[in-house]
Chains A and B, each alone.
Chain A
Amino acid sequence: MNDRPILSVTGLGARVAEEDSDILKGVDLAIRPGEIHAIMGPNGSGKSTLAKVIAGHPGYEATTGSVVFQGENLLEMEPDERAQAGVFIAFQYPVAIPGVSIANFLRTALQARLENGDELDLFDFQELLMERMELLHMEPSFAQRAVNDGFSGGEKKRNEILQMAVLKPSLAVMDETDSGLDIDALKVVAHGVNTLKAENPAMSVLLITHYQRMLNYITPDVVHVMVKGRIVESGGPEVATGLEERGYEEYRRARVV
């Protein structure tokens, strides 16, 4: 495996825009091409804030440190530039876009990646979409539904996975993609991630999760524990197993700031 990280987070501090105190208080993280990292932590630890800062959500601002993606300063890029550079975030609560079908949404997203003046070939797109849906065992009719409009929690997550399959990122950040899912839906999501990972071994994945159960289906290379805005422990999959047994309490006690 390549030694140069695809994503380097160094001393990252971040907060909700225009608020006083930082939620992230110096996060360090390096993900190499093809690696799967998991960040686990209790509610309020800052896990989702990290995902939002990586995505460039306008409601959050970095206060210290840096985020470098493939040699570029991610923090200076617009959300669309980050996406085009190969970053994909599967959101915890993706919003509805009424009247816009998933197919139309994805076509527009792919069209946006082309040079000015180039037109995405409709037949090529249709073929790609069908192939991707088949890979994920999805019904073609799903792509005709309006994006997240009236979707169940499971359908929203499937939609995120489908987008990831079509957009083919080099870094996929899964922000609590497992929350609120029953076991069947969880398996669908895990199957999707594993399938795409098998197809493109160089893709890096950052799994952000509260629970260990997702890690029963996706095996991480590295597990980080985040508490109160800092990564307090990093290690192999055994870290997750330990957490499952002992909970976050010991970290909380040890790291009270």
Chain B
Amino acid sequence: MPSNEVIQGLGLDDYKFGFVTDSEPVFRTRPGLDDDVVRQISARKDEPEWMLKSRLKALRIYEAKPMPQWGGDLSELQETLDQTYFYVKPQEQMERSWDDVPENIKQTFERLGIPEAERRILAGVGAQYDSEMVYHSLKEEWESKGVIFDSIEDGLKNHPELFREHFGTVIPAADNKFAALNSAVWSGGSFVYIPPGVDLDTPLQAYFRVNQERLGQFERTLIIASEGSRAHYIEGCTAPVYSTDSFHSGVIEIIVNRDARFRYTTIQNWSNNMYNLVTQRALVHQGAHMEWLDGNLGSKLTMKYPSCYLMGEGAHGEILSIAYAGDGQHQDTGGKVIHVAPNTSSSIVSKSISKGTGRSSYRGLCKVYDGAANAKSNVECDALLINETSRTDTFPYIEIDEKNASVGHEATVSKVGDEQLFYLMSRGMDEAEAMALIVRGFIEPIARELPLEYAVELNRLIELEMEGSVG
């Protein structure tokens, strides 16, 4: 088994690096994918028979579906997939030592102002975590309210009926090629259940789930928000995720039951060799509210369109997203809102920044089914181009089968203006500081929705990115 991994890129243009580590995996499947690999994954997780069958069925679907021909360039993906280890036992990731983490990654963490303990988690080092006490007291509070917040594996083990009733109901394996792939090889992710009427003030942060399987390549998350409940879930963070993988394909399923409110926040910054292909969808029932707050930085190609299926009368869906495409990166992101029931409403606000040769595409779907009377939807997408070589496109798909519906779409493209830069410089800021301030202003409508520490990190990250953008 090869023991060296070459790790490239951090998502920060200034921090391209090559790095070799000698960690010995405890267990991993061989490169590539077949029935045997899937069986090994299932056996390692000690899964019930139905799950193994579900995985194998998903593998058939994955094999049968052609590679998507739309969105980003996936022509080199098959080669990556052939070399991918579809399952790596996570303990080996924990065995990496802090000393093995390259100096420039440490410096990036330092410059981002990330606390020491969190840095270790992000770098995939060690299980030690100072905030464990905090986590435990929160966990007690959650448990006293009947909230389940576990790894997806423990969810399956400890709550088999609840799990089986909902798993794959929002995003079936047949939904798309990568949903099928994830359904076949998923590993890691969260299982969340909020009982009826429970109102959680403290966000559920995936980050707290230490000593569990870390955010994996094929993470799978299943969230059930019961009637009248209210909660906020946060996944990921703005720091570059230090990963040996070059392919990430997650599936996030959320069920928001009657009159519940749920918000899912994720900010991810992948290393820039990464294909990031994620399916995330919420079923929103009568009178319920769902909000996706989605930030995508880094990666080679991201294809991700959080969606809300507004199934019950009066359901509301919101998607707020930021994409940042640096040199050589393509962010193909957006959102989908599907109006199935009457008096449903939705809003998509999407902002993208393209720098250097970066490209960001807004791809969105607004569909109103016949019978979804008085459906209202508004889409706003704004693109900011930093350099002459930066690129942006907009692909808004609108399908309306209901006469009585109102759908609005607004798109703007702007360039960082010379006059704006000059104005800020005439007040004493250098060009990079001026650029960063303009970009921060551009994303402010979304950043202000983030928890403070995330907004601060995002702003710092933008500053770091802008350092290399001028001159």
B27 → A minimal CB distance (Å): 46
- For B418, give the chain A residue with the smallest CB separation: A58
Binding stretch for chain B, among A78-86, A183-191, A214-222, A237-245:
A78-86
C-alpha spacing A82/B445, complex, angstroms: 32
A226 → B minimal CB distance (Å): 22
A139 → B minimal CB distance (Å): 22
Binding stretch for chain A, among B90-98, B151-159, B403-411, B428-436:
B428-436
Contact B425 A83 (CB under 8 A): yes
Contact B442 A98 (CB under 8 A): yes
C-alpha spacing A98/B382, complex, angstroms: 13
Q: Which residues of A contact B429 (CB under 8 A)?
A: 80, 108-109, 112
C-alpha spacing A104/B424, complex, angstroms: 12
B31 → A minimal CB distance (Å): 46
C-alpha spacing A98/B422, complex, angstroms: 15
A119 → B minimal CB distance (Å): 11
Q: Which residues of B contact A71 (CB under 8 A)?
A: none
Contact with A along B426-449 (1 / 0, CB 8 A): 111111011001101111110000
A183 → B minimal CB distance (Å): 27
B353 → A minimal CB distance (Å): 12
Q: Which residues of B contact A130 (CB under 8 A)?
A: none
- For B433, give the chain A residue with the smallest CB separation: A112
Contact A79 B425 (CB under 8 A): yes
Q: Does B417 touch A at the CB level, under 8 Å? A: yes
Q: Does A89 touch B at the CB level, under 8 Å? A: yes
Contact A83 B427 (CB under 8 A): yes
Q: Does A23 touch B at the CB level, under 8 Å? A: no
Q: Which residues of A contact B445 (CB under 8 A)?
A: 99
Contact A97 B420 (CB under 8 A): yes
B8 → A minimal CB distance (Å): 30
Contact B422 A97 (CB under 8 A): no
A203 → B minimal CB distance (Å): 17
Q: Does A56 touch B at the CB level, under 8 Å? A: yes
Contact A163 B417 (CB under 8 A): no
- For A104, give the chain B residue with the smallest CB separation: B437
Q: Which residues of A contact B426 (CB under 8 A)?
A: 55-56, 79-80, 82-83, 89, 91
Contact B437 A95 (CB under 8 A): no
C-alpha spacing A40/B426, complex, angstroms: 23
C-alpha spacing A84/B427, complex, angstroms: 8
A59, A100, A104 — most chain B CB neighbours (10 Å): A100
B455 → A minimal CB distance (Å): 12
Contact B427 A163 (CB under 8 A): yes
Q: Does B15 touch A at the CB level, under 8 Å? A: no
Contact with B along A92-124 (1 / 0, CB 8 A): 001101111000110011101100000000000
Contact A80 B428 (CB under 8 A): yes
Contact A100 B427 (CB under 8 A): no
Q: Does B130 touch A at the CB level, under 8 Å? A: no
Contact B422 A79 (CB under 8 A): yes
Query: Which residues of chain B in 78-122 are interfacial with respect to chain A, using CB atoms and an 8 Å cutoff?
Result: none
A254 → B minimal CB distance (Å): 35
Q: Which residues of A contact B420 (CB under 8 A)?
A: 95, 97
A147 → B minimal CB distance (Å): 8
Query: Given A58-B418, A91-B423, A97–B428 Cβ distance below 8 Å?
Result: no
Contact A100 B444 (CB under 8 A): yes
Q: Does A167 touch B at the CB level, under 8 Å? A: yes
B423, B437, B438, B443 — most chain A CB neighbours (10 Å): B423
Q: Which residues of B contact A82 (CB under 8 A)?
A: 426
Q: Does A138 touch B at the CB level, under 8 Å? A: no
Instruction: Provide a sorted-by-A list of 16 A–B residue pairs whose CB atoms are within 8 angstroms.
Output: A56-B425, A57-B422, A78-B430, A79-B425, A80-B426, A80-B428, A83-B425, A98-B442, A99-B440, A100-B437, A100-B441, A108-B424, A108-B437, A112-B430, A167-B427, A167-B428
Residues of B near any A CB (own CB < 8 A) = 417-420, 422-431, 433-434, 437-438, 440-445
